[in-house]
Amino acid sequence: MKSRGLLPLLYLSFIALLYGNSLTGGFLIDDAFLVRDNPFIESFSHLLSYFSSANEEFGRPVRLLSFYFDTAIFGKNPAGYHLSNILYYLLFSYLAFLFVERLFEKRFLSITVALLFIAHPLHTEGVAYISGRKDILGGIFCFAALISFLRYLSDSKRRDLLAVALFFLMAIASKEIYAILPLLLVMTAYYRGEGLKRYAGILAGFMLVAGIFLLYVILFRNRVLFDYFHTIPVYGAGKGMNLPTAIKICGYIFYLTFIPQSLSADYTFNVIKRVSFFDLSFLISMAMLVSAAAGAYLSRRREREISFGLFWMLICLLPVCHIITYPEIISERSLIFCSFGTCLVVGKLLMMMRSRKAGILLLILILLAFSAKTITRNAVWKDDLSLWSATVGTVPHCARARYNLGIALARRCRFQEAEQQFLSSLAINPPELITVPDYSYDALLNLANTCAVMGRFGTARQYYRLLLAHDPRNQTALRNLHILKEASIQPPCQRPVLPTPRSQ
C-alpha cells in the first residue's frame, strides 16, 4: 500500500523532469484567441454561456471553463496555464495507470505502461501547447468513465453507471473524438470476461447518444459534409473522399505512435501527399492496418493485453482516419489517446521477453529516448519563431509552416527573411490552388505588407493587385493600396504609416 501512495509522486517527478521547460513558453497559435485576448474567461458572469451557442466560436466548453479557472488564479500569465497543463497531464497519466491495473490486475505492467505513456513524445503538443489541453481533458474524463464502468461491472451500482454517463458527457464536451467511448466500453466489458448481452441495453444507449452527438457535429456545428466533403478538396486535388490517402494517413499515425521521431506542428495536404491505390505507401499502410486487426483478433485469448492495445488503436483511428475528410489531416495532440494502445502493446512485449533484466534494460533505453525527444520538443513549443523554424526544418515543403514562419519573422522586424518565407509559401500553395487550409491569400497580403514596410512600394502594389485579382473584396488590400497611392504623391515625411504584416 505504501508503494501505491508513492506512485503519484513518482509520476509527478517524472513529468516535472520532462515538462519543466515548458513553463517558460508563451501563448501560441490559438492561445492568442482563446486565452490572451478572450474576455469571456475573465468574468464569472460568462460561465453559463460556455455551454450554450453564445460562445460557439470558442469551441469546447470544458476547455473554456478550465481557462476561466486559470485566469482567476494566474491572470494572463502563460506560466500558470502551462502549470495547469502539467497537472492535468499528471492526472491523465495516473488514470491510465489505474485503468490498466484494474482491467488486467498486473502491477508491473501498469507501471510500465504509465511510464511509457508519460514519456511519449507525441504528447508534447497536448502539454506544452496551452490550447492543446482539450485532448488531455477529454482523456481524463474518458479514463474516468472507463474506470467507473469497471466498477459498475463489479458491483452493478447505479452511481457508477451515472458516473460513466457524466464523464462521457464531459469527455465529448472537451473534444468530439471521445465519442468513441461507447466502443471502448464494449471492448472493456469483453476483455473483462463479461457477457455483452447482459449490458446490451446500457451500451446501446451510450452508442445512441454518441451517434446523435456526431451527427450534430458533422451536419450542423462543424458542417464537415457541406464545407469540406462536397466543396473543397482537402488533399489539394480533386474533391471528396480519397480512400487510399485516408489509409495512408492511418498507417502514418500507426508509425508515429510506435516511432515518434519525425514530429511536426503541421501535417497539411502538402505534407501528407495524395496517393492512389497503386502507391507503395498505400500498400504498406494497408498491410499494417490489416496486420494489426488480424493480430488483435488472433491474440484475444492468449495475449489479451496486446489484443486490447491493438483494438484500442484501431478504434481511436476512427475519428482521425478521414473517412469523412477534414482540413486538419493530422494533429499530434489528437493521437494521444491512440498512443495509449501503443504503450500497452509495447509494455506487454517487454514483459514477455525471456530475460526480465533484458526487458527492464530495453524499457530504460526506450524511456531515455522518449524523454530526450520530449524535452527537445518542449523547447520547440517555446514561441512562434522556434515552433515554425523547427517545423520548416522538418517539412520544408509545408506552405502553412512557411507562412507562419514569415509572420514570426515579420513580428521581429526581420522583413527580408519574412519576405522569402512568404514567397516560399506561395510557391508551394499559389492562389490558383484551392486547398484546406488555404493560406495563399494571407501570404500574398502579408508579402505585400512586408514589401511596403521595407519601402518597396512598387513591388507592394504589384502584390496587392495580384491579390485583388483573386480576391476583389479584400478590404485590407484595398485600403493598403489606397494608402500607397496617397504615399506616391505626398512628401516622404507626410507618408502614412503602413500596417505591419498581420498574423494568422
Task: Encode pLDDT of 186-205 as tens digits.
Answer: 999 999 887 778 888 888 89
For residue 164, tell me if it sits in a domain.
yes
pLDDT the model gives residue 161: 93
Q: Which of 329, 345, 380 represents a domain boundary (last residue)?
A: 380
Q: Is the pLDDT of residue 502 over 50?
A: no
Alpha helices in 219-279 (DSSP H): 224, 243-258
Distance CA 231, CA 240 (A): 8
Do the domain assignments include residue 14? yes
**Predicted pLDDT of residue 231:** 40
Angle in degrees, CA 268, 269, 272, rounded to 5: 90
pTM reported for the whole predicted model? 0.88
Specify the higher pLDDT residue, 162 or 266: 162
DSSP string, 290-320: HHHHHHHHHTTTT-HHHHHHHHHHHHHHGGG
Q: Are residues 174 and 42 in the same domain?
A: yes
304 and 431 co-located in one domain: no
> Are 457 and 322 in a shared domain?
no
User: Which of these ranges, 169-183, 317-331, 381-395, has the smallest mean pLDDT?
Assistant: 317-331
Regarding whether 270 and 405 lie in a shared domain, the answer is no
Confidence of residue 398 (pLDDT cuts 50, 70, 90): confident
CA 404 to CA 364: how far, in whole Å?
A: 37
Q: Domain limits at 70? A: 2-380
Nearest to 484 by CA among 452, 446, 462, 454: 452
pLDDT score for 330: 79
Same domain, 318 and 395: no
Q: Is residue 107 part of a domain?
A: yes
What is the count of structural domains for the chain? 2
**pLDDT at residue 3 is higher than 70:** no
pLDDT at 152: 93
Pair 414, 398 in one domain = yes
Which residue type occupies 370? F
Shared domain check, 295 and 392: no
The reply to whether 155 and 216 lie within a common domain is: yes
Residue where one domain finishes, among candidates 380, 405, 421: 380
Question: What are the pLDDT digits (tens) for 245-298?
Answer: 888 888 989 999 999 988 888 877 666 777 778 889 889 999 999 999 999 999
pLDDT digits (tens, 9 = 90+) for 84-143: 999 999 999 999 999 999 999 899 999 999 999 999 999 999 999 999 999 999 999 999
Q: Is there a single domain that holds both residue 6 and residue 73?
A: yes
How would residue 371 be classed by pLDDT, with cut points 50, 70 and 90?
very high
CA distance 125 to 163: 29
Same domain as 249, residue 208: yes
* Domain end residue (candidates: 380, 401, 423): 380
